[in-house]
Amino acid sequence: MTAPEAPAPSVPPASWRESLAVYLQPRVLIVLFLGFSSGLPLALSGSTLLVWMREAGVDLGTIGLFALVGTPYTLKFIWAPLTDALHVPLFTGAFGRRRGWLVFSQLLLISAILLLALTDPAHSPLFVALGALLVAMTSSTQDIVVDAFRVESLPENEQAAGMASYVAAYRIGMLISTAGVLFLVTAFESTGIGRNSAWMWGYVTMAALVLIGTLTALAATEPDQSARAEAAARSESALSRVMHAAVGAFSEFLSRKNAFAALAFVVLYKFTDAFSGTMTAPFVIDLGFTRNDYAAIVKGVGLAALLIGGFAGGYVARRYSLAASLWIGGVLQATSNLAFAWLAHVGVNQWALAFAISVENFTGAIGTVIFVAYLSALCQNPLHTATQYALLTALSAVGRTYLSSGAGYVAAATGWPAFFAISVLVAAPSLLLLAWLQRQTHFDTLGPARV
C-alpha cells in the first residue's frame, strides 16, 4: 500500500477566467463529449426500456427481473485487462491502443441499440432481454476504455475539470436517453405511427447520437501514457500482458486490511438508490402520470437538482472527512425515498412529482459524488488504477443488477407506499458496514481523495 500523499502546497486561488480556461482545454472538451457517449446508453437497457415494457403491458415481476440485464456492468472487471493488453485488429493499428478500442466498442454499441430497437416487448421479451444485454455489454466496455483514456490523457492540472465535465456530460447523456426518448416517442406517435414503431425510432435516434462519441474519439489524439505503455510492453506476449494487468490489480487490493469488508461496502452503498430507482418509472406511470409529465419534470427540475446536488456533493467531500461525507450521502440517499412514499399517498399532482424527483436527484447526486471520491481513494496504485476502478464500479453495480432484481415483486406484494418505506430500510446494511469500517480506522489508511 502506498503512503498517503503529502498535503499540497498552498496556492493562490485561480481567477474565474483561469478556471474557465481549464474547462475549454481541448483535452477536457474531448473528455466531456466522451462522458456524454458513456452516459447515453445506460438508461436504454434500464429505466427507459422499463417504461417501454410497462406501456406494452409487461407485468411488474418481469420488469423487475430485467434489472438482471445489467450484469455486464457488474462483471466488466473480468475483461477490463483485455482492453489494457490486447489489440483490436485494424482499429488499434489505425487509431492507437485506447482510441482503437473506443471506436470499436462504439460501433458495436450502435449495432446493439439498433438490434434492441427492432424488438417487441409485448410479444418477444426474450429477444428484448438479449438486445438489452448486448447494449449493456458494449456500453460497459466503452466505459472501461473511456475511464482509462480520461486518466491517461489529462495532465494533473486538468484532472479535476475533466472529471467534473465528464460527470456533467454523463448525466446529460442519461437525461437525453430518458426524458429525451420519451419526448421523441410522443412526437413520433403524433405523426400517426404506432406506439411500438415510435419506440423503435426513438431508439434508432439514440443509436445515431452515439456517433458523437465516435467522432470525438476520431478527433482525439492517443494519450502519451498509453503510447509509452504500449512501447514498453511490446516485447511481451498478449497473454503475459493480460496476466500482469489482472493479477497485479487483484493481489494488490486484496492484500489490504479489511479488503473484503470494503468490497461489501462498495456493493451496498448505492443499493437503496438502485432498489427504489428500478421501479420509479413504472411507479410514476402506474400512478396516472403520462410519459410526457415524467419526461418534462426529469428534464427540467430533475436536471437542475442533479447539477446542484453534484456541486453540493463536491462541497461536502471537500468540507468533511471521507467517512463523515459517506454518512451524509448514505443517510440522504435512504431518506429521499420517503418523498416517493408521500407521492403515492398524494396521487397525481405535478408539484408533488416535481418535488419527489428533485429530492431523489439532489440526494442521489450528492451520494454519487461522495461515492466516486471513495472509489478514487481506494485506487492507490497507479500501475493498476484502470483495472481496479473497473472492479470497484462493477461491484457497485451488483446492487442495481442483482439485489434490486426482486424490487418488482416487492412492489406488487406490498403496494407503492410500503415499497418505498422498505427502500429506506435496505440502506441499513451499508450504514452498519460504514460504522464498522470507521471503527477499524479503514478511512485513515486512504490517501486524500480527488473529487
Looking at the domain assignment, is residue 14 inside a domain?
no
Q: Which three cell numbers stand for residue 26?
A: 481541448
Looking at the domain assignment, is residue 102 inside a domain?
yes
Question: 3-7, 73-77, 290-294, 322-326 — which one is most confidently predicted on average?
Answer: 322-326
For the stretch 274-300, pLDDT in tens is 888 778 878 888 888 877 777 777 667
Q: How confident is the model at residue 238 (pLDDT cuts 50, 70, 90)?
A: low
Q: Which three cell numbers stand for residue 372?
A: 466516486
Looking at the domain assignment, is residue 8 inside a domain?
no
How many angstroms separate the CA atoms of 389 and 402, rounded?
A: 20
Looking at the domain assignment, is residue 10 inside a domain?
no
Of 203, 235, 267, which residue is a domain's last? 235
The pLDDT mean for the chain works out to 81
For the stretch 376-415, pLDDT in tens is 778 765 556 667 778 888 778 776 667 777 888 888 888 8
Q: What is the pLDDT of residue 451?
A: 34
Looking at the domain assignment, is residue 156 inside a domain?
yes
13 has a pLDDT exceeding 60 = no
269 plus 321 within the same structural domain: yes
Which residues have CB under 8 Å from 236's CB, separation 6+?
Answer: 244
228 plus 365 within the same structural domain: no
48 has a pLDDT exceeding 70 = yes
Q: How many domains does the chain have?
A: 2
351 plus 436 within the same structural domain: yes
285 plus 404 within the same structural domain: yes
Q: How confident is the model at residue 12 (pLDDT cuts 50, 70, 90)?
A: very low
306 plus 412 within the same structural domain: yes
Is the model more confident about 201 or about 384? 201
Q: How confident is the model at residue 74 (pLDDT cuts 50, 70, 90)?
A: confident
Q: Find the angle CA(229)-CA(230)-CA(231) to the nearest 5 degrees.
A: 90
Of 200, 235, 270, which residue is a domain's last? 235
- Amino acid at position 308, single letter: I
264 plus 145 within the same structural domain: no
264 plus 165 within the same structural domain: no
Of 219, 235, 251, which residue is a domain's last? 235
236 has a pLDDT exceeding 60 = yes
Quick one: how far is CA 234 from the chain centroid?
Answer: 33
Quick one: how far is CA 243 from the chain centroid?
Answer: 27
210 plus 266 within the same structural domain: no
CB atoms within 10 A of CB 163: 22
Torsion of CA 386, 387, 388, 392, to 10 degrees: 100
113 plus 187 within the same structural domain: yes
318 plus 175 within the same structural domain: no
206 plus 245 within the same structural domain: no
Looking at the domain assignment, is residue 4 inside a domain?
no
Domain membership of residue 74 as a residue range: 21-235
Is the model more confident about 308 or about 418? 418
Which CATH number does the domain housing residue 269 bear?
1.20.1250.20
- The owner of cell 474519439 is 217
Q: How confident is the model at residue 309 (pLDDT cuts 50, 70, 90)?
A: confident
* Residue-by-residue DSSP string for 174-215: HHIIIIIHHHHHHHHHHTT--HHHHHHHHHHHHHHHTHHHHH
Is residue 372 within 8 A of residue 392, CB to CB? The reply is: no
74 plus 97 within the same structural domain: yes
Looking at the domain assignment, is residue 6 inside a domain?
no
Is residue 424 within 8 A of residue 286, CB to CB? The reply is: no
Looking at the domain assignment, is residue 16 inside a domain?
no
For the stretch 124-177, pLDDT in tens is 888 888 999 999 999 999 998 888 787 777 776 666 566 667 777 888 898 899
